[in-house]
Amino acid sequence: MKTFKKPGLIKMAKKEVVKHSPEILTGIGIAGMITTTILAVKATPKVLDLIEEEKKARLHEATVEEARKWSEEGGIKISPIEYVKLGWKPYLPAAVTGVCSVACLIGANSVHMRRNAALATAYQLSTTALSEYKEKVVETIGEKKEKTIRDSIAKDKIEEIPPSKTEVIVTDTGTSLFFDPLSARYFKSDINTVKKAVNDLNWKMGYGSETYASLSQLYDELGLRHTTISDDIGWNISDGNIELDISAQVTEKGEPCLVLDFLKAPTYDFDRYF
Spatial CA neighbour of 135 closest among 263, 225, 10, 18: 263
Task: Say what the pLDDT of residue 160 is.
Answer: 92
Average pLDDT over residues 152-159: 90
For the stretch 57-92, pLDDT in tens is 776 666 667 666 666 566 667 677 877 777 777 778
Task: Say what the pLDDT of residue 197 is.
Answer: 96
Q: Looking at 1-10, 39-48, 119-128, 238-247, which range is the least confident one?
A: 1-10
d(C-alpha 36, C-alpha 103), whole Å: 13
Task: Say what the pLDDT of residue 158 is.
Answer: 92
Task: Say what the pLDDT of residue 217 is.
Answer: 95
The DSSP annotation for 78-116 comes to --HHHHHHHHHHHHHHHHHHHHHHHHHHHHHHHHHHHHH
Q: Give the SS3 label for residue 255.
A: coil
The conformation of residue 238, written as its DSSP 8-state character, comes to: G
CA within 13 Å, CB half, 27: 6
For the stretch 164-222, pLDDT in tens is 888 999 988 889 999 999 999 999 999 999 999 999 999 999 998 889 999 999 999 99
Task: Say what the pLDDT of residue 49 is.
Answer: 78
**pLDDT value at 41 more than 60:** yes
Pick 116 or 37 by higher pLDDT: 37
Output phi, psi for 251, to 5 deg: -75, 175
